[in-house]
Amino acid sequence: MTLSSGSLASQGEEEHPELSRPRPTEKYWEDYEDWKTHHPSAIESFDRFRAAAQGKLLTVFLDYDGTISDIVSNPDKAYMTDEMRDAVSRVASLYPTAIISGRSREKVYDFVRLPQLYYAGSHGLDIVGPKRDDDDDHVELHQPAPWAPAVMDRVYRWCKEAVSDIPGANVEHNKFCVSVHYRNCEQKWWGAVQDVVHRAVAADPKRLKKAEGRKVFEVKPRVAWDKGKALSYLLGELDLHARYGYAEGEIMSLYFGDDHTDEDAFHELREVPKECGAGVIVSTVPKPSNARFSVRDPGEVLVFLNKLADLAESGVTKSLCTSVASGKGRSTGGRGEGGGGSDSSGHSSGPEAETNRGRRGEAA
């Protein structure tokens, strides 16, 4: 079987540094406790966080696997708990909330099942707004590589056949990218799995690139786009400064994630002025990161999300409800779910209703 009309090369993809951000790689800690002096526990240092968040409207961005669900051996069974779903729903009723995942947007929605959220699937390559009604489709916002699904269909078929003789390897079609998992492989097979992905990318190097995550290699479209750019895009779509009249420094954005790909979002938030952006890395082991805070596991994410909701409900932070009550900007109808709402006529008045649909990026 061939992936394209050309032959598969044996070498890896040509490097294009302009397509990726610099990520920290050097060790700067002695042990886990020392690492936490650089990335304080968001739970243990909650008073510090509370002081930084006071009086601000928060925006909340969440990775899925390893962040609001546990990492499991079978990616099709990475279910979130009902308790976590309730916590995410509670947060979304108070703050604009989005899921940014490497999963396809449809898959992650099937796991989360909260229509009021924004979703960015395939590492931000497929972005949609909240549903207006339960029976409606999500409002399409942005797809920077609209050509990718057809290409990934071919990549998926080729990779699935190529790993068929590698025990434990699993190929997942995530619509705008293809993930080749080696979590269930013995270590002696990891190189063979990586070689499959190298060869897939080498077959179409002008349009494809290779990426890595936690026990997964991925084939992605070669576009200058990542989770950090998706986060900034969503902030632009929310347009909270204009909608509610907030000044610079009155909105604080949070991103929770556990993977290499989440570092792009952490890096994006490091660039936000006045410390109004904070990454929260989910990890039980020290590793280089751009995150400001840390939590150990999804259980601590759950605790922290409920603490965020407590801050809004006690008036420490602003919320979508108080933003409407203040009379700043246009009303979202008081529903406050994920930033969307309805006006008196029943039509959606959230940011998704003002979207310039169909905008597309170009391959880099």
Spatial CA neighbour of 340 closest among 100, 105, 137, 130: 130
**pLDDT (tens digit per residue) in 254-283:** 999 999 899 999 999 998 987 899 999 999
Q: What is the pLDDT of residue 228?
A: 96
CA distances from 70 to 44, 260, 300, 308 (A): 22, 16, 12, 21
Q: What is the pLDDT of residue 138?
A: 87
Q: What is the pLDDT of residue 4?
A: 44
Helix and strand counts by DSSP (H, E) for the chain: 11, 13
Q: What is the pLDDT of residue 3?
A: 53
Sign of torsion over alpha carbons 241, 56, 67, 193: positive
Taking each helix axis as running N to C, give the angle between helix 82-92 and helix 298-313, from 0 to 180 degrees, rounded to the nearest 10. Answer: 30
How far is residue 134's CA from residue 305's CA, in Å, rounded to a whole number?
24
Strands 251-257 and 277-282: parallel
Q: What is the pLDDT of residue 241?
A: 87
How far is residue 39's CA from residue 270's CA, in Å, rounded to a whole number?
13
What's the order of all strands across the beta sheet hosting 359-360? 293-295, 277-282, 251-257, 57-62, 97-100, 118-121, 126-129, 139-143, 359-360
Query: Could you count the other beta carbons within 10 Å of the beta carbon of residue 29?
Result: 15
Q: What is the pLDDT of residue 7?
A: 32
The whole-number mean pLDDT for each consecutive block of 10 residues of the chain, a chain of 364 residues, reads 39 45 85 95 96 96 97 91 98 98 95 97 96 80 96 97 96 96 96 97 96 93 96 95 88 96 95 90 96 97 98 96 58 41 37 37 38
Q: What is the pLDDT of residue 163?
A: 97
The pTM score is: 0.83
Q: What is the pLDDT of residue 342?
A: 36
Q: What is the pLDDT of residue 20?
A: 67
